[in-house]
Amino acid sequence: ELNFGCPHGMSERGMGSAMGQVPDYTCMVTEWVKEATSLPVIVKLTPNVTSITPPARAAVKGGADALSLINTINSIMGVDLETLVPHPNVNGLAAHGGYCGPAVKPIALNMVSELARDSEVNIPISGIGGISTWRDATEFLLLGATTVQVCTAVMHYGYRIVEDLIDGLSNYLDDKGFTSVRDIIGLSVPRVTDWGNLDLNYHTVARIDHAKCIQCNLCHIACEDGAHQCIDFTTINGKRFPIVDEPECVGCNLCYLVCPSPGCISMVRLDEGNQPLTWRELMARA
Ligand SMILES: Cc1cc2nc3c(=O)[nH]c(=O)nc-3n(C[C@H](O)[C@H](O)[C@H](O)COP(=O)(O)O)c2cc1C
Ligand code: SF4
Ligand code: SF4
């Protein structure tokens, strides 16, 4: 595996992400390594790029047998408010480190799925980034990873968690009636598309089940200050409850996300009888 993703220490010396950020270098060095070995060559990509596609295609062009992603993300963790020194630091002087663990999983899933959808990337993909449970691993497989790798979680809990991942995945496969892990690879990839292909006429609104409402008002505050000011109040049996002004609701989900009472707010689809219409179709008509 060629580490074209290390974001600090190596990149400053022309290695690591300095390779993965320049597609021409990615291709050239992959070619060199392929010439020098008969071993399978995996190119490990950096997420510190605007688009993961050019370096991935460059690795394919250079003859890579597989891709792995993601390596860590340039980051400063915070600042000590007493000493004013940022973390991480060496003897009081900070330089960016590499962010990893659960917070990077959504970024990694997106990049893996982008490559799984790319017809020019027709080699296996090893998914990495924030995997700590069998569910995480399964999500990577469903979005097109053919293998997965775990770093932070093993550093934290030890190699024993790999057994938990295997047990959980195995139970999931049994429950769903799959006979092999290969059967689930990429099953969710067709469910990912570009924004321009989404149905503009798909309309949902928030609906509140007052029997489950604890009157905390979090939904009202969220909609009032962060969304579309469309949660009003109504009085039921002398108590004040929030109610959604549905014609004004844009279905942004914010109230649903902040509500602490399970099942209290549902996002409900409104069937307005409109045919599906995507942005691409709309522009084609214009
Ligand atoms: C302390 C530490 C050291 C790492 N060293 C390497 C390394 O030498 N080579 C490499 O390709 N990736 C290295 N990584 C990146 C991981 O392999 C992995 O790509 C990244 O941490 C994301 O996965 P995770 O969320 O499971 O940790 C390192 C990560 C950490 C946290
Ligand atoms: S879905 Fe968004 S716009 Fe609709 S009520 Fe909730 S917060 Fe307001
Ligand atoms: S956030 Fe949920 S529980 Fe709280 S007032 Fe709104 S609907 Fe009721």
Residue 211 structure tokens? 């029997």
Beta bridge partners of 232: 243
Which SS3 state, helix, strand or coil, does residue 216 take? coil
The residue from 190, 214, 231 where one domain ends is 190
Domain that holds residue 110: 2-190
Indicate if 115 and 160 belong to the same structural domain: yes
Indicate if 180 and 218 belong to the same structural domain: no
Contacts of 162 (CB under 8 A, 6+ apart): 150, 154
pLDDT by residue, tens only, the chain of 286 residues: 999 999 998 889 998 999 999 999 999 999 999 999 999 999 999 999 999 999 999 999 999 999 999 999 999 999 999 999 999 999 999 999 999 999 999 999 999 999 999 999 999 999 999 999 999 999 999 999 999 999 999 999 999 999 999 999 999 999 999 999 999 999 999 999 999 999 999 999 999 999 999 999 999 999 999 999 999 999 999 999 999 999 999 999 999 999 999 999 999 999 888 899 999 999 999 8
How many domains in the chain?
2
Indicate if 90 and 215 belong to the same structural domain: no
What CA–CA distance (Å, rounded) separates 80 from 44?
33
Q: Which atom of ligand 2 is nearest to the CA of 226?
A: 7
Indicate if 175 and 204 belong to the same structural domain: no
Indicate if 181 and 207 belong to the same structural domain: no
**Residue-level pLDDT at 234:** 96
CATH number at residue 66: 3.20.20.70
Q: Which atom of ligand 1 is nearest to the CA of 108?
A: 22
Q: Is the CB of 217 under 6 A from ligand 3?
A: yes
Ligand 1, CB within 6 Å, residue ranges: 3, 5-6, 44, 71-72, 100-101, 104, 128-131, 150-153
**H/E/C letters for each residue in 15-77?**
CCHHHHCCHHHHHHHHHHHHHHCCCCCEEECCCCCCCCHHHHHHHHHCCCCEEEECCCEEECC
The residue from 190, 208, 233 where one domain ends is 190
Indicate if 168 and 259 belong to the same structural domain: no
Indicate if 75 and 148 belong to the same structural domain: yes
Write out the catalytic residue numbers. 6
Q: Where are the alpha helices (DSSP H) in 206-277?
A: 218-226, 254-258
Indicate if 146 and 172 belong to the same structural domain: yes
* C-alpha 223 – ligand 3 centre gap (Å): 11
Indicate if 63 and 145 belong to the same structural domain: yes
Q: Which atom of ligand 3 is nearest to the CA of 258?
A: 1
CB 219 within 8 A of CB 265: yes
Indicate if 106 and 210 belong to the same structural domain: no
The residue from 139, 155, 190 where one domain ends is 190
Indicate if 34 and 76 belong to the same structural domain: yes
**Residue-level pLDDT at 286:** 86
**Residue-level pLDDT at 272:** 83
CB 161 within 8 A of CB 153: yes
One-letter identity of residue 198: L
207-226 burial, b at 16+ Cβ within 10 Å, e below that, comes to ebeeeebeeeebbbebbeee
| Interface predicted TM-score of the whole assembly (ipTM), two decimals | 0.94
Indicate if 26 and 167 belong to the same structural domain: yes
Closest C-alpha to ligand 3, atom 6: 219
**Residue-level pLDDT at 271:** 85
Q: Where are the alpha helices (DSSP H) in the chain?
A: 17-20, 23-36, 53-61, 105-116, 134-142, 152-157, 160-176, 218-226, 254-258, 279-285
